A and B are shown apart, each in its own frame.
Chain A
Amino acid sequence: MAARIQIPREARRGDVIEVRILIQHPMETGYRHDDVGHLIKRNVINVLSCRYGGVEVFRADLSSGISANPYVQFYTVAEASGDLEFKWIDDEGQQGSERQSIVVKG
């Protein structure tokens, strides 16, 4: 499960930074049928979380109501240089994670 994350490379302490994440995932709703008429099992990303310097700053419960290749944009305050760690898990138990570092000045 590839993901694309965009955060500023550097920021000043106290700045509100924009965080964007796009995960490659079908977000299968569980209401569609395949070519031979069998229901395709639901498989969506349930939980997406973001930890900044080890502290959870954002979490989302997603459902089939979120588009395929889910995109989420949120904000956080640049506190200190470190990593933003993203983790997500889908119905099949597949986990994905990604990290991006930020340099905080001042």
Chain B
Amino acid sequence: MKRRDFLASAAGALALPGTAFAQVDPLDPLVRAFANGAAVRKGKVTLVLPQLADNGNSVPIRITVDSPMTAADHVKSIHLYSERNPVPNMANFYLGPRAGKAEINSRVRLAGSQRVTAVAKLSDGSFWYDAAPIVVTLSACLDES
């Protein structure tokens, strides 16, 4: 094998894990199950979480969805999913055209560092999501503490 061929094949082998990583489904399997086979696309939804929470018992969370909120085009519901909480579906919020603005603020409990996903169901039946990673120093209590 010539040196040039070897380098080319080595580069190919190195590139392979990268592509395999890119193909890993970034979506929470529960979200996939919730959408019931429909495509869940990234976008429209913005999930804001602090990057680091000292205490997982109360973490501020904001979900906004880019939508005109008219009778013809509005957000029907927003669903929050956690990767590590014992109850993965943290909350569901049901909105409608009367909301005027698709934004929810709340505070959640998080059992450890993880990725939180927010899924929005629009009036046309499409699903959109956003996910945000968070480092939780002190997990919300699952046992005595």
Contact = CB atoms under 8 A, between A and B. Distances in A.
A85 interface: no
Contacts of A106: none
A19 B94 CA distance: 15
B91 A60 contact: yes
Contact of A65 (B90, B95, B102): B90
A4 B141 CA distance: 26
Interface residues of B, number: 34
Q: How large is the interface on A (under 10, 10 to 19, 20 to 34, 35 or more residues)?
A: 20 to 34
B99 interface: yes
A18 B120 CA distance: 20
B133 interface: no
Interface string B78-104: 001010011101111111101111111
Secondary structure at chain A's binding surface: helix, strand, loop or mixed?
A: strand
Nearest to A20: B105
Interface of B: 57-59, 80, 82, 85-87, 89-96, 98-110, 140-144
Interface of A: 16-17, 27, 29, 31-33, 52, 55, 57-68, 70-77, 79
